[in-house]
Structure 1
Amino acid sequence: MRRVASVVTALAVVGALAACSPETPEKPQKPVARDTPPDTRGRATPEYLVFYADGKHDQALQAVERAGGTTVGEDSRLGYLLATGRGDTFVEELGADRAIVGVSPDRNIGFATARGTGSTAPGTRSATPRTGKAAFPDASAFTESGGGEPLAGRQWDMRMIGADRANAKVPGNKQVLVGIIDTGVDGKHPDIAPNFDRTLSRNFVTDKPKDENGETLDGPCEAKGCKDPVDADDDGHGTHVASTIASPINGIGIAGVAPGVRVVNIRAGQDSGFFFLKASLDALTYAGDIGVDVANMSYFVDPWLFNCANNRSDTKKERLEQQGIITGMQRAIDYARKKGVTLISALGNGATDLGRPTVDDKSPGYPEGEQKVRRVDNSCINVPAESNGVISVSSVGPSGRKAIYSDYGLEQTDLSAPGGDTLDGKAAKATRSILAAAPERVLRATGRIDASGNPKGADVVRDCARGSCSYYQYLDGTSMAAPHATGVAAILVSRFGKPRSGGLSLAPASVEDLLYKSATQKACPNPRQYVYKAYGETQTHACEGEPSRNGFYGRGIVNAWKAATFEP
């Protein structure tokens, strides 16, 4: 089993974060009534995901009852009950039963992993320079021109992996369906809409204005019942990811890695960027049930930066929560893979050797203010990036070096891809980041464009064509690297997938093998210890391994052109 954990430093951000007929979705077991009784102070009794051992369903029901709880729902596909109960005693009594393998609160437990190059998007958490000021020149200074879409000259990332050439040869098949498990997708964006499948899109979250402590979380609800429509993204992270994968060739803005495939929004993230465990489970099972070919997961599950099954410094309740996260997500990943979904994840932005974690002082990260300092080791894992069956992607800048913020590790890094690095060169430049679509509404809300629609800084670009304008934003992070790999995987499915009911199918193990074979191998730097300097700090990252696989680049940098042309 591959193991990983991630750490945030001052150099990196954690948080910023096909016309195929779907297969008939499997029905989850019907939940029972969910009238949650209040506790003595009038608050709703907490709900928990109670994961049981194989074949122990009935024993788990009995364990919940003995602990004084009530079962209010279940999902037999992933082996868990949804139960209500009061206090730590309920959780600890459950955990003592041999039928139970994990107990996790049904609450916000994760966030996206993107780095903004200008201001921070709503709800994201960003490590900025010590001065607190943006250090980017005006994007108007970047004037490189090129063929293709109007903003193609700004897409150094697509040229690096040969996607600009691959677009003409294998743009991707409409029968290939790519799932965006993220904060949502702006399905009305002019550079996403032609490839957006609204019918299959789903939103598995309900906005939560405040957290348990009364602090602002998602903010005021924009939609009735706090349930956003399936073509909305009030964060911008998921829209950027979807655009990198599949912005069409339509004379507007940019082109994605696979501009001919379809994307489906499978939303698991809150407006604030946090992710419910249950929403992540629901998203993965839904992806499998509707016949998604490749799913992008540019986030990691929290509140534990390191998920440790048996850390001595954690309480029994905390250990059970982490065991629930590890177990539940692995079961959902296994379910999706068995249904034919190739899963690709961002590795993380902690600038850390994930094979040698030592201290975690950022967990639990939700609600705010509950963090503690604990010793950790390599038995702790990052979920889902280091869950079994997931392809994890590190980030490189425009020079091809490992990005300054990117996590790395010989055991942990499977592939690398362009994710941007504003500091990859002399001074800082926004144009070294990844340019992709951004929701106009989010840019207005965060003050990145003025009342007339003009960009206020280097991180935003406007493209106007045929009487309307669309917007794009520079972001960097392993969140931006992963969708490049996802796009290449979609090209491979388009080429080598076998016909199935209304679409194409290629086993995840085959997609993974082809991704590795088509990647461009890249050796560790010489000397192997690379010194990074930024914001008054110096860090040394050591690269282990050979060109065929190493801690910085994994099996290599993804190569869209080779994926579109090679014969394995």
Structure 2
Amino acid sequence: MRRLTVKALFAAVLLAAAMPAAPAIADAQTSGYIVLLKDGVSVPSVTNLAGVTVDNLYQSAVRGYSARMTAATAARLARDSRIALVQPDGVASIAAQTLPTGIDRIDAEKSPTAKINGTDERVNVDVAVIDTGVDLDHPDLNVYTAGAKNCSTGRSADDGNGHGTHVSGTIGALDNGSGVVGVAPGARIWPVRVLNNQGSGSFSAIICGIDYVTAHASEIEVANMSLGGSGSDSACGSNKDAMHEAICRSVSAGVTYVVAAGNSAANSSTFVPATYEEVITVSALADFNGQPGGGAASTCRADVDDTFADFSNYGADVDIIAPGVCILSTWKGGGYNTISGTSMASPHVAGAAALYKATHPSASPSAVKSALQSAGTTNWNSATDPDGTHERLLNVASF
């Protein structure tokens, strides 16, 4: 059970459409592209083409690569009978907002699997954090450094931003009597870095991360993606969305994906991967004291206690709601920080998925989603939910 540029949205990460940089000279107009191959075509047979500089190879979730090339080269490549699609690369980045009342609110301290009691008993589950990396030697995290992967710039999967480390703490900070505690204490965290220190990265890097997780699907049970961007549901890539196809195949390999709904106060149907049917999409609840009923004074934001967070995306694609306002968790440099966003709500659910997989190791991703929704409660004030839907609030007391 262990173990190839995005704007931090959702404290979450918003995936924006790629915009080719203006070239300095006419003959240097190269841009990033994602290339997927038809079934039966080997990756090496189409990577040594003139005018193509390959960056990342994809061989598990999808078969293909990302590369820099001119538009003319891309058009020529798209006509090649061996190529399934040639897609311009996209761009993404991170805009952090807000941080464990959240652990209390979802009753994680009541979970017989989490066993939160100040004793370092670790949940035997592996969770990939597809993000800005993770603080590899944070004393409050069980980081599986041998499983670290960098699909962004440089070689290290260490976190120079803080976002990925924060997400990791909510998932599985140690129950060691100090710092904070996560939903699934001590779960092994696989750092999969797809964003740089500024919280920015490419669609191709995200696919690289998904590809890596898929290659280790026999070890990784859950993957968290607190990132996202503009897009639409494509029925597993049928409208030529490489990232969706990669996620679909990774889910088919048995990995449960949990993603942030987004922080644009908009319908999540226009954001990916939040709109994908195969993932668990999470919106954010404002909670300031870890208890139902409302009335608690706000701490780091002006939201009303026990209500739908005013920044959170919403809509039919949202599967569950979890605390995402003023969440305290681990931070880069061995520290702690309080931030907000659906990026902070998503790892609560990823941790819950880890708890469920610990006691139901053969459960499929769809079964995990159903179990989380069934265990959820409606004990929160949905009056401010823009779509009027009273999503189930995550609750892990029975896990």
Distance 1:173 1:494 in 2: 11
Distance 2:57 2:193 in 1: 21
One-letter amino acid matched to 1:89: A
The structural deviation recorded for 1:85 is 3.2
1:438 is matched with 331
Asked whether 1:292 is paired with 2:220, we answer: yes
SS of aligned partner of 2:161:
coil
Unmatched tracts of structure 2, length 5 or more: 1-6, 14-23, 288-304
Alignment of 1:433-472 (within 5 A): 433-440=326-333, 471-472=335-336
Given the superposition, is the C-alpha separation of residues 41 and 418 from structure 1 closer, same or farther in structure 2, using an over 3 Å criterion? same
SS of aligned partner of 1:494:
helix
Given the superposition, is the C-alpha separation of residues 161 and 394 from structure 1 closer, same or farther in structure 2, using an over 3 Å criterion? same
2:271 is matched with 382
SS of aligned partner of 2:109:
helix
Asked whether 1:182 is paired with 2:122, we answer: no
Asked whether 1:242 is paired with 2:157, we answer: no
Q: Deviations over 1:17-51 (max 9, x none)?
A: 4xxxxxxxxxxxxxxxxxxxxx9778595452223
Asked whether 1:405 is paired with 2:311, we answer: yes
2:64 is matched with 80
1:223 is matched with none
Asked whether 1:273 is paired with 2:199, we answer: yes
Asked whether 1:89 is paired with 2:72, we answer: yes
Q: Which residue of 179, 194, 200 maps to 2:147?
A: 200
2:368 is matched with 511
Does structure 2 conserve the Cα–Cα contact (< 8 Å) formed by 1:246 and 1:260?
A: yes
Given the superposition, is the C-alpha separation of residues 47 and 406 from structure 1 closer, same or farther in structure 2, using an over 3 Å criterion? closer
Does structure 2 conserve the Cα–Cα contact (< 8 Å) formed by 1:50 and 1:82?
A: yes
Distance 2:202 2:67 in 1: 16
The structural deviation recorded for 1:347 is 0.4
Does structure 1 conserve the Cα–Cα contact (< 8 Å) formed by 2:283 and 2:312?
A: yes
2:187 is matched with 261
Given the superposition, is the C-alpha separation of residues 235 and 354 from structure 1 closer, same or farther in structure 2, using an over 3 Å criterion? same
Does structure 2 conserve the Cα–Cα contact (< 8 Å) formed by 1:14 and 1:113?
A: yes
Unmatched tracts of structure 1, length 5 or more: 1-7, 18-38, 118-154, 207-225, 310-322, 356-380, 421-432, 441-469, 498-504, 531-540, 545-549
Distance 2:67 2:205 in 1: 16
The structural deviation recorded for 1:272 is 1.2
TM-score using structure 1 length:
0.56
Does structure 1 conserve the Cα–Cα contact (< 8 Å) formed by 2:225 and 2:257?
A: yes
Could you tell which deviates more after superposition, 505-514 or 265-274? 505-514
One-letter amino acid matched to 1:543: D
SS of aligned partner of 1:561:
coil
The structural deviation recorded for 1:116 is 4.1
Given the superposition, is the C-alpha separation of residues 83 and 279 from structure 1 closer, same or farther in structure 2, using an over 3 Å criterion? closer
Distance 1:403 1:277 in 2: 27
Please say which structure displays the higher CA radius of gyration. Answer: 1
Alignment of 1:72-471 (within 5 A): 72=54, 75-77=58-60, 78-82=62-66, 84-86=68-70, 88-95=71-78, 102-105=85-88, 109-112=91-94, 114-116=96-98, 155-166=100-111, 170=115, 174-192=123-141, 195-206=142-153, 226-227=154-155, 229-230=156-157, 232-290=158-216, 291-301=219-229, 305-306=230-231, 327-355=241-269, 381-398=270-287, 399-409=305-315, 411-420=316-325, 433-440=326-333, 471=335
1:32 is matched with none
2:18 is matched with none
Given the superposition, is the C-alpha separation of residues 279 and 113 from structure 1 closer, same or farther in structure 2, using an over 3 Å criterion? same
Does structure 1 conserve the Cα–Cα contact (< 8 Å) formed by 2:91 and 2:200?
A: yes
Asked whether 1:473 is paired with 2:360, we answer: no
Does structure 2 conserve the Cα–Cα contact (< 8 Å) formed by 1:116 and 1:475?
A: yes
Does structure 1 conserve the Cα–Cα contact (< 8 Å) formed by 2:261 and 2:282?
A: yes
Does structure 2 conserve the Cα–Cα contact (< 8 Å) formed by 1:113 and 1:349?
A: no
Given the superposition, is the C-alpha separation of residues 187 and 384 from structure 1 closer, same or farther in structure 2, using an over 3 Å criterion? same
SS of aligned partner of 1:284:
helix
1:50 is matched with 35
Distance 2:187 2:350 in 1: 11
- Alpha carbon RMSD of aligned pairs, Å? 3.5
The structural deviation recorded for 1:81 is 4.5
One-letter amino acid matched to 1:175: N
TM-score using structure 2 length:
0.77
